[in-house]
């Protein structure tokens, strides 16, 4: 039985982990950039461009995951931990889809489109509606908090296995 993730799954996991952590940092950094300033427009478009790029990688990752089963979790793990790990992973996928989706939909109900890395302009396909924007932007912000909590739990669990139990779980995902 295969006891490691595939090289593609490992590459996508770590590229996305770095990209998503940077994107979360960038998202909260936006809170400190004054609204209406020219530099805000540049930073927001940078965040949107990275977000769209991450979304493409996330779709690729989901497609790979659905066609390539992960190695089975160690049978020695207690039942609650198996359930917790599966729930954590499933919810991480929900956030990986939900974050770019809510951001993208919100943006399309504003008068701003997306200037993809300043190269291509994607004009909004929705109407300029403050209420619809606020609903999706609110979802983007709440989901961001849930995502951060899930990632902290995920990293704590990975470190517990690597440093405390030393059961080689991290090695399954290590390049």
Give residue number: closest CB to ligand HEM: 27
Q: Among 158, 160, 165, 168, which residue sits at the site for ligand HEM (rule: CB under 6 A)?
A: 158
Q: Which residue, 144, 150, 143, 139, is CA-closest to 27?
A: 144
Contact code string over 3-32 relative to ligand HEM, x by CB under 6 A? ----------x---x--xx-xx--xx-xx-
104 binds ligand HEM (CB under 6 A): yes
| Closest separation in Å from C-beta 143 to ligand HEM | 8
Q: Which residue, 35, 31, 13, is CA-closest to 112?
A: 35
Helix (H) or strand (E) holding 45: helix 38-67
Q: Which stretch binds ligand HEM (CB under 6 A): 75-83, 124-132, 149-157?
A: 149-157
Neighbours of 48 (CB within 10 A): 21
47 binds ligand HEM (CB under 6 A): yes
Q: Which residue, 162, 75, 56, is CA-closest to 116?
A: 56
Classify the C-alpha dihedral 45-47-52-53 as positive or negative.
Answer: positive
Helix%, strand%, coil% for the chain, nearest 5: 70, 5, 25
140 binds ligand HEM (CB under 6 A): yes
83 binds ligand HEM (CB under 6 A): no
Q: Among 73, 87, 120, 149, which residue sits at the site for ligand HEM (rule: CB under 6 A)?
A: 73
Query: Do 114 and 48 contact (CB within 8 A), yes or no?
Result: yes
134 binds ligand HEM (CB under 6 A): no
Would you mind telling me the total number of residues written for the chain in this entry?
175
Interaction site with ligand HEM (CB under 6 A): 13, 17, 20-21, 23-24, 27-28, 30-31, 44, 47-48, 51-52, 54, 65, 70, 73, 89, 92-93, 96, 99-100, 103-104, 107, 114, 137, 140-141, 144, 151, 154-155, 158-159, 169-170, 172-173
């Amino acid at each position: 039985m295969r006891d490691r993730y595939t090289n593609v799954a490992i590459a996508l996991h770590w590229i996305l982990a770095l990209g998503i952590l940077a994107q979360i940092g960038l998202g909260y950094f936006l809170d400190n950039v004054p609204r209406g300033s020219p530099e805000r427009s540049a930073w927001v478009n940078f965040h949107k461009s990275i977000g769209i790029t991450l979304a493409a990688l996330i779709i690729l990752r989901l497609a790979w995951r659905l066609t390539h089963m992960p190695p089975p979790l160690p049978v020695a793990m207690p039942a609650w931990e198996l359930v917790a790990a599966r729930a954590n992973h499933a919810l991480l996928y929900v956030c990986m889809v939900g974050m770019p989706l809510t951001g993208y939909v919100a943006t399309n109900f504003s008068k701003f489109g997306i200037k993809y890395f300043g190269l291509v302009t994607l004009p909004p396909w929705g109407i300029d509606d403050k209420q619809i924007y606020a609903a999706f932007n609110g979802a983007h912000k709440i989901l961001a908090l849930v995502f951060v909590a899930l990632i902290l739990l995920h990293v704590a669990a990975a470190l517990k296995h690597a440093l405390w139990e030393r059961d080689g779980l991290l090695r399954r995902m290590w390049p």
